[in-house]
Structure 1
Amino acid sequence: MSSGLGSASREDLLAVIGLLQWQNEELAAADERLVEANGRLTARVAELERRLGRNSGNSSMLPSTDVFGRPVKKTAPSSGRKRGRESGTPGGGLTMVADPDRTENHLPAACSGCGRELGEYDSVGFERRQVRDIPLVTVVVTEHRAHRCRCACGTLTAEPVPATVAGSPSSYGPNLRALAVYLLVFQHIPVERTARLIAEVTMAAVSTGWVASLLPEAESLVADSVNLIRALLVMGRILHMDETTTRIGATRRWLHVACTESLTLLHLAARSRAGADTGGALPHYRGVLVHDSLSLYADTPPAPINCAEPT
């Protein structure tokens, strides 16, 4: 019997046709699966490209989150100079001092060869290291004793307690008080945290009431300086004034500012003309006033205009 379809029986042909139909169905199903997978991959690639293209310049993302798609900065042409400090310029690192405040000697206890005990008299040289640090800060209690002395003539003379010492039997000294005011006013640390910082660093268990009581005292000490600043602002040719909201505890307050390039006067008051006037600079100022056209500045006297010919 010869090979080939020409000699195949009808049953064989039907079997081949059935096999081909089954293979065709399998290929069609596989093609559908490939088309579906390709669609998913295309969508995923598009989403990834969209994400990679986002940065702080075209979305609400923070600059710190820019990883991909960050705008490329143009680099300036190289000047040819090497990076780092130029030769001959003084360095900014810590230099060793010639006369340290304290010296600690570290000596080997015994000879590594024979085991003989060694001391400072055996030293033939040393390696130097200098460490900068602050001493442990702690409260030092000083007792002031104002004596009464009786002379041979019978007169009793008493020495008064120094004026710098408070009248109470026990009190905090001027250095600790100055530190508390510095933390409150210059570093803007709240009263409770100031008291906690002082207690943890110096071991002086100050109270929040004591910390808060220092501000009126400090205000009286700087009153002359504040008056001088106020007078210099009034005499200036240009003055900037503004106000901003702030909070003291749960209460909303307004902080007024009057300033020049070198002077600043701040005070708390209501956001009104009367509140601005309590600073003392606005009622007496007659120069050029720079402000944001808030209504409280509406009736400010205009600055005088000098029409004289320039010299």
Structure 2
Amino acid sequence: MDVMCLVYGIEIPSSDWEKTPASIKELVEKMGQRIKQSEQELASEVAKNQELLEKINRTSKNSSSPPSSDPLNSEKLLSKKKSDKKRGGQLGHKGHSRNLYDVSECDSVLEHQPETCSGCGEKLIGVDSNPRRHQVVEIPPINPIIVEHRLHQLECQHCGTLTRATLPADVPIRGYGVRVVALVAVLSGLYRHSTRMVQSAMQDIFGVTMCLGTVNKLKKEASDAIAGAVSEAKTYVQNSPVVGVDETSCLLRKC
């Protein structure tokens, strides 16, 4: 009976293994080592993934972590019983409509009067003291205001020195006015647009072209302009007896 030998977990007859050429044995050895190494790496990755899953599912309710570490979606939505009501507005529900602007805020008011009766076709006369009001809101075409400053240079007739005019103190050196700076700050700060999105919005909506570097410089300019107010607000909060914040997490849709 032929003796069996174990080669990387596989039993084969010893006679077959002895007959195997040396080059094939070397190849099998290398492949076996690579398989063993791959199995070890796979086991390590599985352990890492398991650890990450545990971290993701860890909340203040199943661990000693503070509530502030809970993800926003940690609370599951309460199951809601399906209603028997039909979709849409319900009987007795107070309707909501768009509020009309005051007449004083309208740029123009157009009067439309019927000329003939819709029933018999007779000519209509008279005045309606309470006409139905319909308003259309539109945004005017947006075109940037571009002001060119020309700094002339003149030669002194006495000494020959060339002197060029300087920009007035209220003219921005970067070439963008305060409204442009404020708009860049609002788009990137309040609305959390990326630098590239701010660049696209300024070009597509307002017709103002600027490179990505300029967007970042204008953001810093706005930040420096309000640094004093931010510092005052920070000091006020730090010195307040009650701040009104805690570590309780909440879903944004509920707050």
TM-score normalised according to structure 1 size: 0.37
Higher relative contact order (CA 8 A, sep 6+): 2
Structure with bigger strand share is 1
Larger radius of gyration: 1
